[in-house]
Structure 1
Amino acid sequence: MSLPGSLRTVAAVAVYWTAIALGGSVLLPDPTSPLVAVPTLGGGAVVAHAAHTDRLVELGYAVGTMWIAVLALSIGTGVVDVFALPRREIAPLADYPGIAAIGTVGLLGVLVVAYAAFSRRSDERDAAESE
């Protein structure tokens, strides 16, 4: 059973926006923090642009790239905390408000840069195929 194109687009938009909002806010200690607006609204703008310009595939790659950044940040923090700190205690990054804010904005930045790069690459590939 296949879904109509518009229903597929709505489902993709909902999944991508949720993935961006969750991944972008992973460093926030308080889910009611005003910084939740950064990944929610910023991610919404990127998703809206992707849906409007029919670039949902490129957005999918960008969301995957953002989640790789979340994973790398998590692993890197754990390695630094275990091997570099004398107490050998893992302190969550979310305990530091400045780091949480920079990380939240940085993860949105990763998403935007990856989306732009994948979109440019797709445009170049399309231009090369049309020649």
Structure 2
Amino acid sequence: MPLPDSLRTVVAVAVYWTAIALGGSVLLPDPTSPLVAVPILGGGAVVAHAARTDRLVPLGYAVGTMWLAVLALSIGTGVVDVVAPPAGEIAPLADYPGIAAVGTVGLIAVLVAAYGAFVRRSAERDAGEPA
């Protein structure tokens, strides 16, 4: 028995918003930091736009792109820690408040830019198809 479209949309919105909130706040050292509003509200705005304009597929690609940026940050930090360690150990990125703030805002910027690019690509593809 297929799911109704409204239930599918609600589930997709919940999954995407959770993925954005978790991925966008990965660099925050304190989960009660005021910066947690950036991924929650920014992600909510992007998800709401995607749900209203029926662009959940491009949103999925954008969320995947944001998680690729999280992966790149993780790998990059690990490589720097192994290849070029300073006198001591490199502290996690989240221990530096400036990096945590820039990284959190940067991850949401990656999400918004990727969402815009995937929506534009989808619109161009739809415009090229005969009706």
Q: Into which bin does the TM-score normalised by the smaller protein fall?
A: over 0.9
Shift of 1:85: 1.7
The CA deviation string for residues 70-104 of structure 1, in whole angstroms up to 9 with x for no partner, is: 00001001111221123463420000000000000
The CA deviation string for residues 25-69 of structure 1, in whole angstroms up to 9 with x for no partner, is: 000000000000000000000000000000000000000000000
Structure-to-structure mapping, 1:1-80, within 5 angstroms? 1-80=1-80
Q: Distance in 1 between matches of 2:32 and 2:73?
A: 22
Instruction: Give the corresponding residue for 1:130.
Output: 130
Q: Distance in 1 between matches of 2:5 and 2:121?
A: 24
Structure-to-structure mapping, 1:88-99, within 5 angstroms? 89-99=89-99
Unaligned runs of 5+ in 2: none
Q: Distance in 2 between matches of 1:2 and 1:113?
A: 33
The residue type paired with residue 25 of structure 1 is S
Q: Distance in 2 between matches of 1:22 and 1:117?
A: 22
Structure 1 stretches of 4+ with a deviation exceeding 3 A read none
Identical counterparts, % of pairs: 84
Asked whether the equivalents of residues 35 and 101 of structure 1 are also in contact (C-alpha less than 8 Å), the reply is yes
Q: Distance in 2 between matches of 1:97 and 1:88?
A: 19
How many residues of Structure 1 are paired with residues of Structure 2 in the alignment? 131
Structure-to-structure mapping, 1:99-110, within 5 angstroms? 99-110=99-110
Instruction: Give the corresponding residue for 2:86.
Output: 86
Q: Distance in 2 between matches of 1:56 and 1:79?
A: 34
What TM-score, normalized by structure 1, do the two folds share?
0.96
